[in-house]
Structure 1
Amino acid sequence: MDRPQISLDFAPELHLFVAGRRREGRSELRTDGTSTLGHIVESLGVPLTEVGTLLVDGRPVPDSHVPADAEHVSVQGVARPQRPATATVTPLRFLLDVHLGTLARRMRLLGIDAAYENPDIGDAALAARSAAEERVLLSRDRGLLRRRELWAGAYIYSHRPAEQLRDVLSRFAPPLAPWSRCTTCNGALRTVTKTSVREQLRDGTERSYDAFAQCEECGQAYWRGAHHARLDAIVSDAVREFGGAPVVAGG
């Protein structure tokens, strides 16, 4: 019995995942007649985390659909803003792998709940934490994003932290609450008196600054030091483009 032959096309943003001959227009593929469309798409290199609607001859189908002979499959990218269908937590929470430390700190700077695993705890543990805590796993590891136990995930397309941050904010539209999280541990910040954090301050800092915040989890103290202008530029750019009102809680 002949194996079914289908044709496929991929949205432009998915072209980086597939072989060059499948990047332009339709391409033909023979299937085994039993594999689901989700399995077929992943076998061609595209993580399902990056797939939006799957169309077969123009009609939406689930990734469990088994393609029949002569069907045409159109693989769409995710619609933005995206919210996982099974999400029960508001706002969304995130988990970043060991290679995305700078992105994690920038997300926390904007008040986004961004857990970060360093050192590397392994793919299985990352996926398990994503599922247990209902966190969107952000990674540049395509294999990690294919793990079945993963709750939700997203591929980080750029190597550059500024572009990575814009991509996450555009894709998930998380509410921004700048200066409200600890960039070190992800804990919540609260305004405190200078006296309560004096033991963490050098003489120059104690003399020069009066507004302080402290992490409720790790105790790290924050103030608007010499580095503040660079961080404020990151915050201002994000708020201007994606919304949110800066919260004055140290810096």
Structure 2
Amino acid sequence: MERPEISLDLAAELHLFVGARHRGEHAVVRSDGAATLGHLVESLGIPLTEVGALLVDGRPVPTSHLPADGERVTVQGVSRPQPLPGPARFLLDVHLGTLARRLRLLGVDAAYENPDIGDAALAARSAADRRVLLSRDRGLLRRRELWAGAYVYSHRPDEQLTDVLSRFAPPLAPWTRCTACNGVLRTAAKDAVHAQLRDGTERSYDAFAQCTACAQVYWRGAHHAHLNAIVDDALRTVGAHR
């Protein structure tokens, strides 16, 4: 018996995941008759974390749908902003350290694994902590044990941040998290952090914050204008996508 032939109309943003021959008007794949629609989409190289609605003749179907011969399936990208299945908590792999620090600057709960603990451990932590795993590793995002995941489309930190913020529109609370460890900051008196300050810093600044987890001390120093610009851009991005 000839294997069922399925046509998949792919959203434009999904084309980067597939080979050149599948980037036209629609991708034609053959099923063994037992593979689910989700498996067929993944067989093209598309992580299901990047797939929104699946439609057959305009009718929504789940990833467990068994496609029949001749069916034409529309594969949409995720909607933006994408609803989160829980609190806005993220886990970033070893390649996204700058993005992790910028999310923390904005008060977003962003755990970061460095050094690399391996795909299996990352996926397990995502599930155990109920965190959305952010990665540029397509294979990692296809692991079944993930709680939730998202592909980071750019290799540039500025574009990565805009991508994540426009996709999830998480609540922002700038200047409330430690960029080093993700701990929560509290206001600190100068006398209390005196031992950690250089003479010039102590003379020039009066307002300080300290991490409740690692004791790192923060003040609005020479880089504040650059960081404030990142915060302002982020607030505009999230505001535009809510």
Fold match (TM-score > 0.5): yes
Aligned partner of 2:231: which letter? V
Q: Deviations over 1:113-170 (max 9, x none)?
A: 0000000000000000000111000000000000000000000000100000000000
User: Does 2:165 correspond to 1:169?
Assistant: yes
Partner of 2:20: 20
Shift of 1:243: 3.5
Q: Percent identity?
A: 76
Is this contact kept in 2: 1:9–1:23, CA < 8 A?
A: no
SS of alignment partner, residue 175 of structure 1: coil
Can you give the 5+ residue segments of structure 2 that lack an aligned partner in the other structure?
Answer: none
Please identify runs of 4+ aligned residues in structure 1 that moved more than 3 A. none
The one of 206, 214, 223 equivalent to 2:219 is: 223
Partner of 1:34: 34
Can you give the 5+ residue segments of structure 1 that lack an aligned partner in the other structure?
Answer: 245-251
User: Does 2:45 correspond to 1:45?
Assistant: yes
Provide the aligned length of Structure 1 versus Structure 2. 240
Aligned partner of 2:34: which letter? T
Aligned partner of 1:115: which letter? A
* Normalised TM-score (structure 2): 0.97
Aligned partner of 2:117: which letter? I
Shift of 1:50: 0.1
Aligned partner of 2:208: which letter? F
* Normalised TM-score (structure 1): 0.94
Partner of 1:111: 107
Partner of 2:58: 58
In structure 1, what is the Cα distance between the partners aligned to 2:237 and 2:125? 31
Shift of 1:93: 0.2
Is this contact kept in 1: 2:92–2:110, CA < 8 A?
A: yes
Instruction: State which drifts further: 58-67 or 233-242.
Output: 233-242
The one of 118, 121, 125 equivalent to 1:125 is: 121
Aligned partner of 2:49: which letter? T
Shift of 1:32: 0.5
In structure 2, what is the Cα distance between the partners aligned to 1:155 and 1:163? 13
The one of 163, 175, 179 equivalent to 1:179 is: 175
Aligned partner of 2:201: which letter? T
Is this contact kept in 2: 1:9–1:22, CA < 8 A?
A: no
In structure 1, what is the Cα distance between the partners aligned to 2:16 and 2:202? 51
User: Does 2:16 correspond to 1:4?
Assistant: no
Partner of 1:67: 67
